[in-house]
Amino acid sequence: MLPLILASSSPYRRELLQRLRLPFECASPDIDESPLDGESAQQLVCRLAESKARALSRRYPNHLIIGSDQAAVNGSLILGKPHTIERATEQLKAASGSSVSFLTGLCVLNSRSGHCQVDHVPFTVHFRPLDDARIRRYLEAEQPFDCAGSFKAEGLGVSLFRSTEGEDATSLVGLPLIRLVDMLLAEQILIP
């Protein structure tokens, strides 16, 4: 079995991968995550997931490298990580009473053989109507400024939802485990 590398510094992705009870290491890929002109959200997350995996392939030449990236889409607008309370407030105001699609790109790169699997997993969040006071209380309590869409689904963010829809709820947190298991099985990794 080739050793696993998670091409991420995200504690959320690390926690999700630990659910599979496979040994792995984490390494930060340090890539430019800026969207390209005319790039769709689907193209963006797939490109970035693969770029993250490939960025580590020289340092880890005999490994399975897992890359993942996520974008939130509200209408035609791609939402990134807000980084500030002001931008998070804007994102949640725009999401109030509407639906936001989350696309999570996933890549498993076998750096020994060069075999590369890339896919994306969609998930939709339908938000409750959110007034300014509720948004402020939430942001002060959870401070989700490093999360696309300005909430943590694994925490209090779920209180902002009216409903969700999708095949894999872990994709909302940033690492779609159901699709990842498919990719690992294709690489002959036995999942406990």
DSSP 145-176: TTSTTS--TTTGGGGGEEEEEES-THHHHT--
- Condensed to tens digits (0 to 9), the pLDDT of residues 97-148 reads 999 999 999 999 999 999 999 999 999 999 999 999 999 999 999 999 988 8
Residues shown for the chain:
192
What separation, in Å, do the N-terminal and C-terminal C-alpha atoms of the chain show? Answer: 13
Instruction: Band the pLDDT of 5: cuts 50, 70, 90.
Output: very high
User: Domain limits of the chain?
Assistant: 4-186
Quote the pLDDT of residue 160: 97
Pick the catalytic residue from 69, 132, 146, 168. Answer: 69
Q: Which CATH class is domain 4-186?
A: alpha beta
Quote the pLDDT of residue 68: 97
**Residue 82 pairs with which residues in a beta bridge?**
none
CA–CA dist 192, 102 (Å, integer) = 29
Q: Exposure pattern of 36-73 as b/e (b: 16+ CB <10 Å)? A: eeeeebeebbbbbbbbbbbbbbeebeebbbbbbbbbbb
CA–CA dist 93, 87 (Å, integer) = 10
The model carries a pTM of 0.91
Q: What is the mean pLDDT of residues 21-38?
A: 94
Q: Clarify whether 30 is annotated catalytic.
A: no
